[in-house]
């Protein structure tokens, strides 16, 4: 008898269920892109409609059988759900399917772990992973907490083991939080120095893969990593640029946001995201060629509000005009304030308009101590 081939860990079955969401097709496509970004070489998608999640498997038992058949056909070693699974659902699915099961949060954490390059980025990712593990550990081991008996007064061995695990995780998390506090303090010192020098602080924010790093490189003549992948940038990069009508400007490229960004990641990356919270101006980069651009912009605004950056002045930068067919230029509101800048970071079309928008923001920001000559942007 020929033994069955070992499951391929680079192949996965993607599960994206429809609970009445109008953007389900886009959500499934985004899951596929996340899987590609995580290094999944081959995948198939299993969909379906449900009114509500199944308490035991999240998907119904019939759908789980369909997922199992798809995994066997692909020889997939992993099943990835585009949803948040409870610890019990995840354990039940792994037992039923005989394969590793990841939910959306774990998939994103996997990508972050692969992409983190700096010490700060690695610390943030590890902290987010431990935050999640501690919750899963508590819920997953509750049956052992109920064990009693045996010699001594400490209860069963399960209780001892979970306490050891909890203590080890808690100790490591305290260490990581201490390191992040050091990074945070160092960043604060740098921010105060910029504030004393009356330097405008600008942060690029936006949905992942909207083109922030390409725009950052175009503005600052930097060499930040560019890739047509989700979460190509994790570590904040800051550069100082000079604009004749604004003086010195500090521009920061930050991690991209995504729909249902895990709260653990937001908490772990709070030190990095402080560059956004403390900025004078946000350049909200939108992929103008994306069919879900309005929803993506709303998702970014939601995260900005969550981290306390919702009231910072924004300029919407509709990037990738060369792909969407939009004319580069500036759009103003009824008060003459800049509402949107249409441009292409890849070709450079509209880049001068964006520099002018930054300079205009520098003139009008509260607390400015100097008054450079006024500028005029022409609407197109």
> Which DSSP string do the residues of 316-378 spell out, in sequence order?
EEEE-HHHHTPPPEEEE-TTS-EEEEE--TTT-TTHHHHHHHHHHHHHHSTT----PPP----
The pair of structure tokens assigned to 182 is 């050091």
- Residue 320 Ramachandran class (φ > 0 left, ψ -120 to 50 alpha, else beta): left
The pLDDT assigned to 151 comes to 40
pLDDT at 150: 42
Measured between alpha carbons, how far is 13 from 303 in angstroms, rounded to an integer? 29
Q: What is the pLDDT of residue 293?
A: 92
**Residues 343, 321: Cα–Cα separation, whole Å:** 5
Taking 70 as the pLDDT cut, the residues of the chain under it are 1-5, 22-24, 137-160, 187-188, 190-198, 223-235, 262-265, 267-272, 274-275, 365-380
Model pLDDT, residue 288: 95
What pLDDT score was predicted for residue 289?
93
Equal CATH topology for 10-102 and 198-364: yes
SS3 204: strand
Domain ranges of the chain: 10-102, 117-177, 198-364
Task: For residue 262, count other CB atoms closer than 10 A to its CB.
Answer: 21
pTM greater than 0.85 (yes/no):
no
CATH 3.20.20.100 is the classification of domain 198-364: no
Predicted confidence at residue 367, as pLDDT, reads 53
State the burial class of residue 311 (Cβ atoms within 10 Å of its Cβ: 0-12, 13-18, 19+).
exposed
Q: Give the CATH fold of the 10-102 domain.
A: Rossmann fold (3.40.50)
pLDDT at position 327 is 93
């Amino acid at each position: 008898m020929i033994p069955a081939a070992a499951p391929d860990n680079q192949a996965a079955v993607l599960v994206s269920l429809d609970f009445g969401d109008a953007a389900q097709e886009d959500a499934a496509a985004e899951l596929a892109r996340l899987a590609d970004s995580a290094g999944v070489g081959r995948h198939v998608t299993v969909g379906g409609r449900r009114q509500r999640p199944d308490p035991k498997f999240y998907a119904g038992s019939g759908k789980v059988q369909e997922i199992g058949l798809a995994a066997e056909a692909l020889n997939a070693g992993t099943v990835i759900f585009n949803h948040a699974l409870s610890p019990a659902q995840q354990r039940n699915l792994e037992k039923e399917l005989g394969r590793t099961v990841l939910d959306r949060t774990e998939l994103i954490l996997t990508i972050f772990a692969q992409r983190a390059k700096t010490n700060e980025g690695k610390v943030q990712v590890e902290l987010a992973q431990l935050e999640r593990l501690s919750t899963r550990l508590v819920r997953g081991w509750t049956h052992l907490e109920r064990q009693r008996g045996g010699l001594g007064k400490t209860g069963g061995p399960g209780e001892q083991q979970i306490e050891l695990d909890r203590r080890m995780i808690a100790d490591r998390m305290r260490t990581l939080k201490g390191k992040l506090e050091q990074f945070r303090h160092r960043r604060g010192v740098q921010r105060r120095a910029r504030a004393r020098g009356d330097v405008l602080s600008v942060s690029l924010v936006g949905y992942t893969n909207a083109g922030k790093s390409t725009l950052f490189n175009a503005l600052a003549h930097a060499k930040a990593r560019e890739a047509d992948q989700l979460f190509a940038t994790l570590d904040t990069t800051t550069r100082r640029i000079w604009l004749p009508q604004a003086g010195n400007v500090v521009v920061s490229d930050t991690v991209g946001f995504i729909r249902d960004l895990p709260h653990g990641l937001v908490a772990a990356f709070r030190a990095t995201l402080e560059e956004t919270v403390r900025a004078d101006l946000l350049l909200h980069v939108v992929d103008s060629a994306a069919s879900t651009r309005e929803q993506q912009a709303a998702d970014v605004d939601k995260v900005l509000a969550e981290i306390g950056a919702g009231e910072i002045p924004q300029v919407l930068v509709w990037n990738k005009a060369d792909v969407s067919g939009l004319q580069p230029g500036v759009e103003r509101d009824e008060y003459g304030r800049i509402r949107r800048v249409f441009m292409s970071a890849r070709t450079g079309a509209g880049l001068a308009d964006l520099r002018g928008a930054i300079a205009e923001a520098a003139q009008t920001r509260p607390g400015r101590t100097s008054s450079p000559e006024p500028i005029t942007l022409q609407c197109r």
